[in-house]
Chain A
Amino acid sequence: MVAATRPSEEQIWAWLSELPDPEIPVISLTELGIIRSVEWQDDTLVVKVTPTYSGCPATSVINLDIETALRRRGVRKLRLERQLTPPWTTDWISAEGREKLRAYGIAPPVDGTAADGVAAGRIARMTGARVTVACPRCGSTDTERISQFGSTPCKASYRCQDCLEPFDYFKCI
């Protein structure tokens, strides 16, 4: 009886993929890569969520959104668990998610630089390379960083030297 009405894990993932990130609503929680697993343990659905940043104020809102959405779909027994390992990295933001960020005006994280917990800029300085962040508005790579921290801990403030617009950069972590 219970098994017959129990939604599949694929179904749960599909429902979760409809939930927007509270701070950047163009991207979903699954595209952001913070839902780490969905699993039925007997009659209880266990959803493991990882925080983007330790102090991310959206964490409790995200948990509430997940719980509300799943309960509305009829999931009765539900447990949300915080998973810290492995720590969230911007590498987990999906390709679709990155495109949506760009269209929204946020430069997505530069690919493949988030490993080892070393900030991209630090690697760049050590290797003499330059991290190029393209303007999400005009595509110019002639941009400058205004501040390491933008409107939220996950973003930095940049300015485009061509179209002169300021923009947020979703920095690598």
Chain B
Amino acid sequence: MSSLPEMTHAAATDRVSREALFEGLLRIGDSALILGHRVSEWCGHAPALEEDIALANVALDLIGQTQLWLELAGTVEGKGRSADDLAYLRDAWDFRNLLICERPNGDFGHTLMRQFLFDAYHHELLKGLSASSDPRVAEIAAKAGKEVAYHLERSSDLVVRLGDGTEESHRRMQEALEALWPYTGEMFLRDDKDAELADAGIAPDPASLRPAWERTVREVMTDATLQVPDSTFAHKGGKQGIHSEYLGYILAEMQFLQRAYPGASW
């Protein structure tokens, strides 16, 4: 069932190039998709049943949001590609997710730290997008934002509990923070496409999200007795399609069925 209003379609593409809007939507949708897939790898493996269920539900929210973002991306692109086509039939270099989303899960603490760093960003991003000049973008962001409020609440709580927990859990959380920190800078980098979308009021300028993100991160890390690294080095490239080797493995698993049996459905 799809029902995107045709009249707003023309209006939105007047303000911005079709290419920039398509790319911008892939960046949001692909990050949700790849992180959602990563988190779903925990299904059946989490340290406690409640955590297993919670992780599966977070993954489900992210995949559901992906469906909405990529469906809109396909509409904007105008080549008849569905959300499924975009998810299952693109190669690694066509993906636009942030590199942090494809990082391996590591231990439970590492997964939670990655989730928290992303949730804090995702929450701010969706807040900005819900004021988008493109109503199609705004309505998806408003919907997703309510779900992500719960993701952020949960990951903040757990980062505090594990950081301010035992000596062992504290050590692991500090290690996770240091390992993932260089992957946070990419969230706030802006290129020409980001600038075009920001100028048209379609998406917030990535750099503008940083102060609020940092406030949340520092507040939670203080409660968690964890030390925020000083380094400002940032790995980048995911938004432009330059990925780590990990994405290939994710896609190999995620896309296997559609690649082996094209058009399969059930």
* A-B complex is real: yes
- A contacts, CB < 8 Å to B: 49, 51, 53-57, 63, 80-89, 117-119, 121-122, 146-153, 157, 171, 173
Q: Which residues of chain B from 1 to 51 have a CB within 8 Å of any chain A CB?
A: 1-3, 50-51
A–B Cβ pairs within 8 angstroms, 14 of them: A53-B147, A54-B68, A55-B65, A56-B64, A63-B1, A81-B1, A81-B3, A85-B139, A87-B139, A147-B50, A153-B60, A153-B147, A157-B50, A173-B146
Could you tell me the distance between the alpha carbons of A121 and B144 in the complex, rounded to whole angstroms? 18
Interface size class of B (residues with CB under 8 A): 20 to 34
Q: Which residues of chain B from 50 to 77 have a CB within 8 Å of any chain A CB?
A: 50-51, 53-54, 57-58, 60-65, 67-68
Decide if the interface of chain A is mainly helix, strand, loop or mixed.
Answer: loop
Q: Which residues on A sit within 8 Å (CB–CB) of B157?
A: 148
Contact residue among A87, A122, A149, A150 (Cβ-Cβ distance under 8 Å from B142):
A87
Q: Which residues on B sit within 8 Å (CB–CB) of A117?
A: 142, 145-146, 149
Could you tell me the distance between the alpha carbons of A146 and B143 in the complex, rounded to whole angstroms? 25
B233 on interface, CB distance cutoff 8 Å: no
Q: Which residues on A sit within 8 Å (CB–CB) of B57?
A: 149, 152-153
- Please determine whether A54 and B150 come into contact, CB atoms closer than 8 angstroms: no
Could you tell me the distance between the alpha carbons of A62 and B146 in the complex, rounded to whole angstroms? 22
Q: Which residue from chain A places its CB closest to the CB of B158 in the assembled complex?
A: A148
- Please determine whether A173 and B147 come into contact, CB atoms closer than 8 angstroms: yes
Q: Which residues on B sit within 8 Å (CB–CB) of A148?
A: 54, 150, 153-154, 157
Q: Which residues on B sit within 8 Å (CB–CB) of A54?
A: 61, 64-65, 67-68, 143-144, 147
Q: Which residues of chain B from 131 to 171 have a CB within 8 Å of any chain A CB?
A: 135, 138-140, 142-147, 149-150, 153-154, 157
Could you tell me the distance between the alpha carbons of A86 and B150 in the complex, rounded to whole angstroms? 19
Pairs of residues from A and B, 10 with the lowest C-beta to C-beta distance, nearest first: A55-B64, A54-B64, A147-B50, A149-B54, A81-B3, A117-B146, A149-B57, A55-B60, A148-B154, A84-B139
